[in-house]
């Protein structure tokens, strides 16, 4: 049995968000205000609709990326660190060919491509068949902090895409537009250092998890067993937790409740993939990437 662990590399844990808007598109706040709301983040991107917002020198956030949200009325796609040349013949027309062209240009440039808010059924969402028709993207936004739990959570689509045999990562972002939406969902990356390239390299390899307030200290493999160690302190260790281990088709492989610091799951070899979701008393969550089992 081979268990692929995306968390095997050493590094530092860094916090960031890629999907945020300013008054350059439909955000309520100018760039300088958005910087202040995220001033202690390690990395950050602005992703205005159908345009690249250029960063200013007013930010104290160490690592900044340019980004764009490709925003046809049908479905949205986030491109982080795209080449600026994509604007030369830019169109947000929703065809698989056009979205694939833009996604591929971003990924080939060293950036990442994320299909965002795939379950936002009242406006822009992704049909599963379109997600499967696209081939070059890095991942899916599984938690969009914009608001409605019925529309902005997409673990079902992620499990469906993963179960089709695709290897795509789960992302969490605020999709910040207005005060009150900031710092709800983010990504915690284990990267060699905090620089543009190291963070994106780590994310491409799946060395990150999605957080809404809780987290993992490490995820390791010991023989056939995956050991997920949770953020630990005297306070956290005494708090009640609810953990679920999911496999292919979203099957629940293991559940665990109580006051614990780690989760152990012994693989049988038939899981396809194994991913962890943990909630802390009060609701804060941490959601791992899949560990593929072959």
Which residues in this chain contact Zn ion in the complex, by CB under 5 A? Answer: 69, 76, 175
Return the sign of the alpha-carbon dihedral for residues 85, 64, 11, 153. Answer: negative
| Minimum distance of Zn ion from residue 174's CB (angstroms) | 9
Q: How far is the CB of 246 from Zn ion (least distance, A)?
A: 26
C-beta closer to Zn ion: residue 149 or 238: 149
Q: Which is nearer to Zn ion, 114 or 278 (CB)?
A: 114
| CB 93 to Zn ion: min, Å | 16
Nearer to Zn ion, 76 or 275 (CB): 76
**For Zn ion, which is the closer residue by CB, 26 or 58?**
26
- Minimum Å distance from CB 21 to Zn ion? 6
DSSP characters over 154-195: -HHHHHHHHHTT---EEEEE--B-STT-TTSSEEEEEESSSS
Residue with Cβ nearer Zn ion (69 or 271): 69
Backbone torsions φ then ψ of 203, nearest 5 degrees: -70, -40
Angstrom distance (rounded) from CA 153 to CA 121? 11
**Cβ at position 116, least distance to Zn ion in Å:** 5
Burial profile 142-159: b = 16 or more Cβ within 10 angstroms, e = fewer: bbbbbeeeebbbbbebbb
């Amino acid at each position: 049995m081979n268990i692929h662990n995306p968390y095997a590399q050493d590094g530092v844990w860094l916090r960031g968000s890629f999907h945020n808007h300013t008054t350059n598109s439909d955000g309520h706040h100018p760039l300088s205000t958005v910087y202040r709301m995220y001033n202690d983040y390690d990395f950050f991107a602005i992703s205005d609709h159908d345009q690249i917002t250029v960063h200013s020198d007013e930010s104290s956030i160490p690592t900044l990326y340019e980004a764009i949200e490709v925003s046809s009325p049908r479905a949205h796609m986030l491109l982080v660190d795209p080449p600026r040349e994509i604007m030369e013949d830019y169109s947000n027309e929703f065809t698989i060919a056009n979205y694939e062209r833009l996604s591929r240009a971003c990924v080939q440039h060293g950036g990442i491509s994320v299909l965002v808010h795939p379950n936002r059924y009242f406006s822009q969402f992704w049909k599963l068949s379109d997600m499967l028709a696209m081939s070059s993207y890095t991942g899916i936004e599984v938690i969009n902090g914009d608001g409605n739990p019925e529309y902005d959570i997409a673990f079902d689509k992620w499990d469906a895409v993963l179960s089709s045999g695709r290897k795509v990562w789960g992302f969490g972002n605020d999709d910040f537009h207005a005060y009150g939406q900031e710092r709800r969902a983010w990504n915690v990356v284990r990267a060699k250092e905090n620089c543009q390239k190291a963070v994106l390299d780590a994310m491409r390899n799946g060395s990150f998890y999605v957080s809404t307030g809780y987290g993992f200290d490490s995820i390791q493999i010991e023989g056939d067993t995956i050991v997920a160690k949770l953020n630990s302190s005297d306070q956290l260790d005494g708090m009640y937790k609810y953990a679920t281990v999911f496999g292919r088709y979203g099957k629940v492989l293991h559940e665990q409740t109580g006051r614990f610091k780690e989760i152990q799951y012994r693989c049988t070899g038939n899981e396809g993939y194994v991913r962890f979701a943990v909630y802390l008393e009060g609701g804060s969550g941490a959601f791992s990437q899949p560990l593929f089992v072959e």
